[in-house]
Amino acid sequence: MVSKNDLVKELYPEDLYGYAEGLTDGEVEVLQEVREALETHVRPVITDYWEKADFPFAEFKKVTDVGIMNNPKLYVGREGERKPRELYTAFLYLELARFDASIATFYTVHGGLCYNTILLGGNERQIEEFAPKLASFEWQGCFGLTEPDHGSDIAGGLATSARREGNNWILNGEKRWIGGADTADVIPIFARDVEDNRIKCFIVRKGAEGYSADPIPHKGSLRAIRNGHIVMKDVVVPEADRLENINGFRDVSRILVRTRADVAHIAMGISAGAFVAALKYVKQREQFGKSIASFQLVQEKLSRMQANVVANIGYSVRIAQLQEEGRELMLNSALAKMHNSLNMRETVALAREVCGGNGITLETDVMRFFADAEAIYTYEGTHEVNALIVSRELTGIGAFV
């Protein structure tokens, strides 16, 4: 029988410092099942879906059937908890993003942004209604915060409005870059209450009158995720579907602290995926009568990629540990996202370099990672915004404007 530590070495040979050894037996078993489902069902179609800018819903269901959020193996000794351990979540992102960034992004929208919004913002009745169906993927969720004219300045600039009329709220406005907006069953929408000017959150359900969402065309990154542009015209939401524990941007920030860490994990996974793909290629490619893996310049680039991957895993594992201990801070999440994304950008560029001309095709996989890294570098706060969050803590001076 293969030991847990031997299995994680087999799954993640790029994890040279053995961070995955902190996973439980059950968590490793689930991650192994995720790997098998990805390779069996999604691998044969992912390139085609990336090219045609669509998401492989049917094939990805085989992955969610593993129970990536609710498998009992994830809750041994933790019965009654609503989320797996943060260390498992970090390695789940490594598993998904190491395979494909759009797959990982779909998950972070559903299992990160939407699910955390329900857990942090909902009352017990709402959590009981939504959480189990989201955890099982019976319902798909998304997250409606970003707007066409407001990204990083959303705290003061959010324009979508909510007006109360009796026991209902009337929503008007637009959202943009919302993953899964045209297919989701549960759409948390953040809007500004016209009465008190505070940001609140409302669950718009699939099929709501006045709600429309169209996929954004002509993307060069994360092509397989269906980012949508949402338009709401007098959408009616009952008071019962307002998340009562979200009453200002401070409450929204509690969600973003967690999901910014998730994106740091995705950057970690992309770095690992690009490195693994490049290493495979250079071992097979021959030039001048020998394997290009034997050339000194190629070996130097491989070593830099490996170092970046280990550093990114280290950041992600530590932020997961801090979250598990309840010591999550925006500073920590911003630092991890900034660091991992910057390292990721260098890593995918090096991976593309060592694959030469073949590195610009989708056949080696590195071009997918190279293109998708640009979106990860930007979302959940650009490099500059996350750097300013860190520097504000260092200097005591906010330099956002």
What pLDDT, on the 0 to 100 scale, is given for residue 16? 96
Q: Answer yes or no: is pLDDT of 130 > 70.
A: yes
Q: Answer yes or no: is pLDDT of 55 > 90.
A: yes
- DSSP secondary structure string for all residues of 2-46: --HHHHHHHH-TT-TT-GGGGS-HHHHHHHHHHHHHIIIIITTTH
Domain 4-135 shares a fold with domain 250-395: no
Q: Residue 175: name the closest of 198, 194, 192 by CA.
A: 192
What pLDDT, on the 0 to 100 scale, is given for residue 2? 79
Whether the CB-CB separation of 28 and 8 falls below 8 Å is answered with yes
- pLDDT, tens only, 311-333: 999 999 999 999 999 888 889 99
Encoded amino acid at 287, one letter: Q
pLDDT mean across residues, the chain? 94
**How would you classify the pairing of strands 290-291 and 286-287?**
antiparallel
User: CA angle at residue 365 from 92 to 344, to 5 degrees?
Assistant: 60
pLDDT average, residue stretch 52-59: 96
Q: Answer yes or no: is pLDDT of 401 > 90.
A: no
In CATH, the number for domain 250-395 is 1.20.140.10
User: CA angle at residue 49 from 149 to 108, to 5 degrees?
Assistant: 50
What pLDDT, on the 0 to 100 scale, is given for residue 400? 81
- CATH classification of 154-247, choosing from 2.40.10.340, 3.40.630.30, 1.10.357.10, 2.40.110.10? 2.40.110.10
Q: Answer yes or no: is pLDDT of 155 > 70.
A: no
pLDDT average, residue stretch 240-255: 93
For 4-135, give the CATH class. mainly alpha
pLDDT average, residue stretch 108-121: 96
So where are the chain's domains?
Answer: 4-135, 154-247, 250-395
Whether the CB-CB separation of 14 and 310 falls below 8 Å is answered with yes
Encoded amino acid at 396, one letter: G
| Spatial separation of the C-alpha atoms in residues 297 and 218, rounded to whole Å | 36
